Amino acid sequence: MNLFIDTSNNKLIIILEQNNQIIDHLFLDNQTRISDIALEKLHDFLKQNNLTIKDIKDFYLTVGPGSYTGVRVAVTIIKTLKTIDNSINVYTISSLAFQAGAKSAISLLDARGNKFYMGIYKNKECIIVDQLIPTDYLENFTDEFQGFDVLKDYNGIDFNENFLNLKANFKLVNDIEEIEPQYIKHFI
């Protein structure tokens, strides 16, 4: 059984999957206090599916960029589980890559202060590395990458589809110390 969790952008996204079939999912939007609810919602989600955390062997998560606190919530949960049981597998992906899915897309997340986290993806591959840009630079990229979808703040995203499409693109992390939030602080 596989579990995906994303807390990076004021949304709580939990997906339960086995053999490329979605078993169940939970999507909660506008969670400004995600750190207060994530563990309880995860426990309730597993319970409603007659599972415990011990039934999950593969954990998939986004590691940012995104909300500073939000990014750390899922990372902390999974790092704790990996500390308790080193035999579990942990797979990570950028939240910008997750948002882009299999599309050719300019993936944007609001970084506040007239800035965006941005990555550009084509056929599940990153072609412009995740970075922080001022809002007024965005037009340069939309002009250069005409025909690419502009995806912003997870709006209109089919989370289940993106997870299934990208599952093979998540990176296996063997060392617990490598499970780290992705913070982007500098301009291009």
Fold adopted by 2-96+156-178: Nucleotidyltransferase; domain 5 (3.30.420)
What kind of architecture, by CATH, is found in domain 100-152? 2-Layer Sandwich (3.30)
CA 36 to chain centre: 19
Phi-psi region of 156 (alpha: psi -120 to 50; beta: other; left: phi over 0): left
Categorize the per-residue pLDDT at 32 as very low, low, confident or very high, splitting at 50, 70 and 90.
Answer: confident
Instruction: Determine the 3-state secondary structure of 119 from DSSP.
Output: strand
- Separation CA 106–CA 176 (nearest Å): 31
Which sequence spans correspond to the domains of the chain?
A: 2-96+156-178, 100-152
Look at residues 85, 93, 65, 73 and name the one whose alpha carbon lies nearest to residue 176.
85
Burial class of 113 by CB neighbour count within 10 A (0 to 12, 13 to 18, 19+) = exposed
Kindly tell me if the per-residue pLDDT of 183 is higher than 90: no
Encode pLDDT of 128-168 as tens digits. 999 999 999 999 999 999 999 999 999 999 999 999 999 99
pLDDT band at 38 (very low <50, low <70, confident <90, very high): very high
Per residue in 75-118, pLDDT (tens digit) is 999 999 999 999 999 999 999 999 999 999 999 999 999 999 99
DSSP 8-state code for residue 173:
E
Helix (H, G, I), strand (E, B) or coil at 108: strand
